[in-house]
């Protein structure tokens, strides 16, 4: 009977030791460099726990010196989010645990950098893969918030194009293998979200469903009603979180011209109105669309509530994004249905 008591004693000591350590605190200090015409004493800071909505210790106005200096007690070995607010709005800074012993320099207004890589209409293309991987890795090493979006048509529905490097076309097994390979590559790259394109909606036997089911990212299409087991049920939208706890809402819209059984396209404007974001629903509201540039422009003119539309389908290469009705519109061209691994 002595052995069980010994185990209990060790467990009790461990718990008490952990609880004791968690009560230790350190001083977080820094300087807010106010780039506005207002006094630094009008600024307010709030400390949030990483990935939690629960507010931490509030930084009162009187604690901000004329030079913008501040101090607050925090628990070590935990990441935090520091929110600075004032007349120019608010911004957040992610504070990793390993940097809490350093003095923090912050400029106000706080500008958060969010990087979104987006592809569309790849149509089974594997070209420039090494370059894409290298670019994404470099961005992730530099920025906290890097996202990968796919705006649809990663597959090809035309049987005459089911070949690579001038091989034998019309092979549905090749289609299934290629589709699965592409989705797995997207998983490896860490894609965050995809909207279905018309080439995915034009399902081929069970191969399309099998490939899309392998995706480790949400697949969207708010205006598509799927009543067939040949396709997965898409979500209307998804919410992504930044390192500072801000939300990015992504609404997916698609287009269908295949008329496959079990696929019904719903009215675009009615769908958007149904999921239209409220003013304070998220820090950023995006559309990930596969409806073509012309419809993206109409969408922006009717719904300025969105911050940006990332599109596909029309294969429009917008090297400089279009600003329409205060909505940013982007699209990354597309592959002309000709596969090559050269």
The residue ranges of every structural domain in the chain are 25-108, 115-330
CA contacts within 13 A on the Cβ side of 274: 13
Strand order through the sheet with 219-220: 115-119, 146-150, 193-195, 219-220
Class of domain 25-108: mainly beta
- 263 burial (CB, 10 Å; 0-12 / 13-18 / 19+) is buried
Task: In whole angstroms, give the CA distance from residue 153 to residue 255.
Answer: 11
Of 19-28, 240-249, 268-277, the least confident: 19-28
User: How does residue 54 score in pLDDT terms, banded at 50, 70 and 90?
Assistant: very low
In this structure, are residues 111 and 91 in contact, taking their beta carbons and an 8 Å threshold?
yes
Closest CA to 265 of 218, 212, 226: 226
Written out in words, the top-level CATH class of the domain with range 115-330 is: alpha beta
DSSP string, 248-280: EEEEEE----S--TTEEEPPHHHHHHHTPPPTT
pLDDT of residue 87: 80
Cβ neighbours of residue 86 under 8 Å, at least 6 residues apart? 34, 36, 38, 42, 43, 44, 108, 109
User: Mean pLDDT over residues 82-102, rounded?
Assistant: 81
**Does the pLDDT value for residue 143 go beyond 80?**
yes
Cβ-contact 148, 240 below 8 angstroms: no
Predicted local distance difference test score (pLDDT) of residue 247: 92
């Amino acid at each position: 009977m002595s052995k069980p008591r010994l185990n209990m004693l060790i467990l009790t000591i461990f718990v008490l030791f952990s609880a004791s350590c968690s009560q230790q605190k350190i001083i977080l200090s820094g300087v807010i460099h106010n780039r506005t015409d207002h006094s630094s004493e009008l600024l307010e800071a709030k400390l949030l726990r990483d990935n939690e909505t629960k507010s931490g210790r509030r930084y009162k106005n009187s604690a901000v010196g004329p030079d913008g200096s501040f101090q607050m007690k925090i628990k070590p070995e935990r990441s935090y989010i520091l929110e600075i607010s004032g007349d120019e709005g608010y911004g957040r800074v992610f504070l990793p645990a390993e940097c809490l012993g350093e003095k923090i320099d912050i400029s106000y207004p706080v500008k958060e950098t969010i990087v979104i890589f987006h592809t569309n209409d790849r149509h089974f293309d594997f070209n420039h893969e090494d370059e894409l991987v290298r670019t994404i890795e470099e961005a992730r090493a530099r920025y906290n918030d890097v996202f990968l979006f796919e705006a649809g048509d990663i597959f090809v529905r035309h049987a005459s194009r089911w070949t690579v490097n001038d091989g034998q076309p019309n092979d549905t097994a090749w289609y299934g293998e290629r589709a699965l390979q592409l989705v797995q590559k997207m998983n490896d790259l860490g894609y965050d979200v995809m909207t279905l394109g018309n080439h995915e909606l034009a399902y081929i036997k069970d191969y399309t469903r099998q490939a899309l089911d392998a995706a480790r990212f949400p697949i969207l299409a708010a205006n598509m009603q799927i009543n067939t087991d040949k396709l997965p049920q898409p979500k209307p939208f998804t919410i992504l979180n930044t390192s500072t706890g801000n939300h990015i809402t992504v609404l997916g819209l698609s287009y269908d011209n295949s008329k496959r059984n079990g696929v019904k396209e719903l009215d675009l404007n009615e769908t958007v109105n149904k999921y239209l974001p409220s003013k304070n629903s998220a820090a950023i509201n995006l559309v990930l669309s596969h409806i073509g540039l012309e419809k993206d422009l109409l969408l922006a003119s009717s719904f300025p509530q969105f911050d940006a539309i990332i599109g596909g389908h029309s294969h429009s290469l917008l090297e400089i994004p279009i600003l329409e009705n205060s909505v940013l519109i982007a699209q990354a061209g597309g592959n002309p249905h000709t596969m090559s691994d050269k």
